[in-house]
Each structure stands twice: as structure tokens, then as C-alpha cells.
């Protein structure tokens, strides 16, 4: 009998503090109208000084495990997609594992920036299909505001913090239909944090730098391409997709991608207006919201697509 993996639980966590566009106006040369018009973002969540990425991941993970009706100790694989780990090592996944009281199985991080959750989901799917795991916890978690220059209006208005999680379990019925991952490092300079730590000191710029126009064009191109790749692989058409759940970077990118796919926005889960760009957390946050609001229902087909610095991009087609 063929083994599949299926999402059986979802969860999310957003820090209590929110930062509205109106509040940003007081410290940055920008305006609510400028931000809304160009990005669709209205507010974003900012982690508290005591909150780390693994803290955010813990809250989202607990909700996902509870939703799956499992005990923490039923989890035998933890993968955390993050660009903002608690520390250089150990991995955020290992720190999360300890907070969950789990002392067995594998735990590791994946760094593919905003495509990180799709990458992590793909790896977990392969672990389960190969028999190496039964219940995988896949988390996208970010304290991305730690990487921002709060005087750079081109970047600081875009990002927020948060975490989303799913429990992926062994199933006799198809869940993850296919995943498709890509990367091309020649585009690294378009979106990056060029600084690094050496001998205990920071060298170079430790905050996000971005060529916004180039990122927009690239994102729309590869998001539509990798969406069609997933559909073609499964001999499906876009009208068979119930929900598109894209990386929540910018409403204009989301709308342009939907337009290229000839998919109405009524079939797209959008959270960017209240979350901003939460990098690896954005897709699972949107997935969880779709489930909690009753829009995403069991048996429906969802297409997850992401693109991020690297550049990386990927898609996952699944039956929920």
C-alpha cells in the first residue's frame, strides 16, 4: 500500500504588539496611503523583547498538535523554517523540541527565507513517505523585525513577526500531492542581509537590503511558473484548485500572480494586510486563518506557493 502524508493539524501565533502604518508615520518618512497603495499592508505584529523565534514557534506548534488531537510525544520529526534563529546553534528546532518536552526523533532548521515553509513541508513529506517519520511538526517562525533598519522606509514597512505550524502525518489517503522546489543563487544581491558575524563582531550591513522593483518582477514570474508546474505534474487545471495560499509579501504580487493564473481573488487567502511579510511564517499563518475562518474545508485542494531571497521558490499542491 502506498504511503502518503497529510496535514491533520494547523496552528498559528502572532505577538500581542501591533504596529500600524499610522504609528510608523511618526518615526519614518512614509505615510499610511503610501504603504497601503504599494503593498496592501495596514499593520504588522512585533515580538516582545523577551520573545524569541522558538517562543513564537512553541505557541503555534502547541495549537497545531492540539488541533491534530495528538500528544506532544507523538511527534517524531520537527522541522523549523526560519531566517531568524534564536542563536547560531543549536537549531531553533532543537530549542522548540525541548520546550515541547520531546526527547526523541530528528529536529533541524531549514533556511530558504520566504520559501522556507514549502521547503520544510517537502522534506517532511519525504520523511513520512520513506517511513522515517510518522508525525512531523513543520513550523515557519520568524522574528524578522530584528533584521530591519527602521529608518529605511523601503524595507521596514514591509515585515512583521509571527509563526504558523502544521502537523503532517502518515496517511493511506493522498494529502501532499506533490512539491516543487527551486533556487538560483545568481539573484542573491536582489534581496539579502549582507552582514555577518566574525570573531564576535558584526561585519557589513546586518539589515535587509532589497531591490524592490526587481524582486516584484521576479516573484510574479516564478510564482506563476511554479504554480503551473504543480498543476501540470498532477494533470490538473487551475479551476480544480479551491484555494491559492501564496507567500504574503505584497498584495500587488499576490494579485498579479492570481491574474497570470486566471484565478479570481475570491479563491486566494490573503493576510498581508494585517500581518505584513512574515517570511517563512506567512504561508502557514494564511493556511491556519483559512481553516479557522471555515473557508478551507476537508477534501479541498490547496496550492501553496512561495518565493524568497536566495533566490528560492517552490510550490506544494495538497488535499486538505
The angle at the Cα of 39, spanning 38 to 42, to the nearest 5 degrees, equals: 115
Task: Please pick, among 45, 47, 94, 114, the residue that the annotation labels catalytic.
Answer: 114
Is-catalytic flag, 277? yes
Q: Give the Cα separation of 70 and 203 in Å (integer).
A: 45
Determine how many CB atoms are found less than 10 A away from the CB of residue 164: 35
Q: How far apart are CA 94 and CA 100, in angstroms?
A: 10
Do the Cβ atoms of 310 and 183 come closer than 8 Å?
Answer: yes
C-alpha cell at position 81:
523554517
Return all residues near 39 (Cβ < 8 A) that are at least 6 apart.
Answer: 157, 158, 250, 251, 252, 272
Contacting residues for 222 by C-beta, under 8 A, at least 6 apart: 182, 307, 311, 313
Annotated active-site residue 172? The verdict is no
Among residues 144, 143, 62, which one has the least CA distance to residue 96?
Answer: 62
Q: Please tell me which residue in 59, 250, 277, 302 is annotated as part of the active site.
A: 277
Active-site residue among 67, 180, 247, 275? 247
Q: Which residues contact 219 (CB under 8 A, 6 or more apart)?
A: 249, 250, 253, 257, 307
Q: Is residue 21 among the annotated active site residues?
A: no
Enzyme catalytic residues: 114, 247, 277
Amino acid at each position: 500500500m502506498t504511503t502518503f502524508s497529510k496535514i491533520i493539524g494547523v496552528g498559528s501565533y502572532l505577538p500581542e504588539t501591533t504596529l500600524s502604518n499610522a504609528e510608523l508615520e511618526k518615526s519614518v518618512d512614509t505615510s499610511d496611503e503610501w504603504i497601503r497603495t504599494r503593498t496592501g499592508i495596514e499593520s504588522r505584529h512585533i515580538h516582545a523583547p523577551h520573545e524569541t523565534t522558538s517562543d513564537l514557534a512553541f505557541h503555534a506548534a502547541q495549537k497545531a498538535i492540539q488541533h491534530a488531537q495528538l500528544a506532544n510525544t507523538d511527534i517524531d520529526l520537527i522541522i523549523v523554517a526560519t531566517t531568524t534563529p534564536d542563536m547560531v546553534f543549536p537549531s531553533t528546532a532543537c530549542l522548540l523540541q525541548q520546550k515541547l518536552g520531546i526527547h526523541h526523533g530528528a529536529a533541524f532548521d531549514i533556511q530558504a527565507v520566504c520559501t522556507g515553509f514549502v521547503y520544510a513541508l517537502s522534506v517532511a513529506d519525504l520523511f513520512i513517505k520513506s517511513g522515517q517519520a510518522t508525525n512531523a511538526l513543520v513550523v515557519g517562525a520568524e522574528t524578522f523585525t530584528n533584521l530591519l533598519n527602521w529608518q529605511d522606509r523601503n524595507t521596514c514597512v514591509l515585515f512583521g513577526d509571527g509563526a504558523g505550524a502544521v502537523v503532517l502525518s502518515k496517511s493511506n489517503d493522498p494529502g501532499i500531492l506533490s512539491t516543487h522546489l527551486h533556487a538560483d543563487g545568481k539573484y542573491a544581491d536582489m534581496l539579502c542581509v549582507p552582514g555577518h558575524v566574525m570573531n564576535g563582531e558584526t561585519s557589513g550591513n546586518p539589515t535587509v537590503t532589497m531591490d524592490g522593483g526587481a524582486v516584484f518582477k521576479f516573484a510574479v514570474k516564478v510564482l506563476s511558473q511554479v504554480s503551473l508546474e504543480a498543476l501540470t505534474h498532477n494533470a490538473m487545471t487551475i479551476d480544480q484548485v479551491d484555494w491559492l495560499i501564496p507567500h504574503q509579501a505584497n498584495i500587488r504580487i499576490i494579485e498579479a500572480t492570481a491574474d497570470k493564473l486566471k484565478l479570481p481573488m475570491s479563491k486566494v487567502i490573503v493576510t498581508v494586510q494585517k500581518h505584513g511579510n512574515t517570511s517563512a511564517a506567512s504561508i502557514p499563518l494564511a493556511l491556519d486563518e483559512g481553516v479557522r475562518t471555515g473557508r478551507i474545508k476537508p477534501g479541498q485542494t490547496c496550492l501553496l506557493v512561495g518565493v524568497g531571497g536566495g533566490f528560492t521558490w517552490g510550490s506544494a499542491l495538497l488535499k486538505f
